[in-house]
């Protein structure tokens, strides 16, 4: 998908979805807050269009975590996430002169990141790597070394739990993994996810529901085993 059309397509929808889906659940708020990116000003985005180094650096700093985090959660592999991030920023750089300064570029980044991940999933190299590597032996799930608790045992438990959750996400088929990551990790609403996936909102919602059921089943098993 063309980066510019991605922007036009998703930018407005993000705002409208946020209005129609007030998230009263604290977890959802956390998810959205975690990925909230303070938008660049119109003036800064104008400078991005001119590819001024300082403006590009600011754009990078604002959106790198969003891109890398989403890629990590969708791909479940640090190296692949780095490749995806590089691909995304290359595309953004090429399309920088077409950015609409009146719109927040965050949804555009989300769309490009998802599309880059989808391209990897469709590639033969991905299928080959998935066959050749056990899914539960990649340590690169990127939880912070400390969660600020100053309690090594708590940190270790949290780290292990995050690893198991990420592993469970990765065990989902891509069609189910995407809605659950976009909704619960990235904080997107179902209409946005539907547009991203090219399906209607009801289908996106249903897919998310199935994903959550499958994920719960996997987690019940893995977290149960870890607890024993």
Partner 1 sequence: MNANETETLTAAESGARDAVRDLAVPVADPAFRARLREQFVTDRFVPASSRVVRLPWHRRPMTSWTLAAAAAVIAVVSALALNQGPAWQVVSGHGAGIASVDGRSVSLGHTGDLVRRIHAGAHVTLPTDSDLELRAGGSLLMQIAPGSELVIPTVPGRWFMRRSLGELRSGEVRITTGPEFHGSRLALATPEARVLVTGTTLAVICDSTGTCVCVLDGAVRVGATGDSMPKVEAGMRAFVYADGRPMVQAGMRPEEIPELRRMRDSRTGSPHAPGH
Of 1-9, 10-18, 102-110, 210-218: span binding partner 1 (CB under 8 A): 210-218
Q: How many residues does the chain have?
A: 228
Residue 220 touches partner 1, criterion: CB under 8 A: yes
Quick one: which of 189, 183, 136 has its CA closest to 163? 136
Residue 206 touches partner 1, criterion: CB under 8 A: no
Quick one: which of 85, 98, 111 has its CA closest to 13? 111
State the Cα–Cα distance between residues 17 and 70, nearest whole angstrom. Answer: 19
DSSP states of 79-92 as a string? HHHHHHHHHHHHHH
Quick one: which of 43, 34, 81 has its CA closest to 186? 34
Residue 28 touches partner 1, criterion: CB under 8 A: yes
Distances 170 to 20, 33, 76, 126, 135 between C-alpha atoms, Å: 30, 23, 6, 13, 7
Binding track, positions 123-142, relative to partner 1; x by CB under 8 A: xxxx--x-----------xx
Place of tokens 């780095």: 82
Residue 201 touches partner 1, criterion: CB under 8 A: no
Please tell me the number of Cα atoms within 13 Å of 37 on its side-chain side.
24
62, 93, 118, 171: residue in contact with partner 1 (rule CB under 8 A): 93
Residue 19 touches partner 1, criterion: CB under 8 A: no
Residue 166 touches partner 1, criterion: CB under 8 A: yes
17, 85, 112, 194: residue in contact with partner 1 (rule CB under 8 A): 85
Site for partner 1 in 49-68 (CB under 8 A): 51, 53, 56-57, 60-61, 64-65, 68
Interaction site with partner 1 (CB under 8 A): 21, 24-25, 27-28, 30-31, 34-35, 51, 53, 56-57, 60-61, 64-65, 68-69, 72-73, 78-87, 89-90, 92-93, 116, 119-120, 123-126, 129, 141-145, 147, 161-162, 165-166, 168-169, 180-181, 183-185, 190, 205, 208, 212-213, 215-217, 219-220
């Amino acid at each position: 998908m063309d980066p510019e059309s991605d922007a036009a397509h998703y930018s407005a929808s993000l705002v409208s979805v946020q209005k129609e889906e007030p998230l009263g659940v604290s977890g959802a708020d956390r998810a959205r807050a975690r990925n909230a990116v303070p938008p660049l000003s119109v003036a800064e985005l104008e400078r991005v269009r001119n590819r001024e180094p300082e403006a590009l650096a600011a754009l990078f700093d604002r959106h790198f975590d969003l891109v890398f985090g989403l890629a990590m959660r969708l791909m479940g592999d640090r190296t692949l996430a780095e490749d995806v991030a590089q691909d995304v920023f290359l595309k953004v750089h090429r399309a920088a002169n077409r950015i609409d300064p009146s719109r927040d570029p965050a949804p555009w980044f989300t769309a490009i990141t998802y599309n880059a991940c989808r391209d990897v999933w469709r590639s033969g190299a991905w299928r080959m790597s998935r066959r050749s590597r056990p899914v539960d032996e990649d340590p690169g799930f990127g939880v912070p070394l400390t969660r600020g608790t100053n309690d090594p045992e708590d940190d270790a438990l949290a780290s292990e739990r995050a690893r198991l959750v990420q592993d469970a996400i990765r065990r989902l088929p891509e069609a189910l993994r995407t809605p659950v990551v976009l909704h619960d990790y990235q904080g997107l609403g179902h209409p946005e996810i539907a547009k991203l996936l090219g399906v209607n909102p009801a289908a996106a919602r249903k897919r998310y529901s199935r994903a959550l059921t499958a994920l719960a089943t996997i987690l019940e098993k893995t977290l149960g085993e870890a607890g024993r």
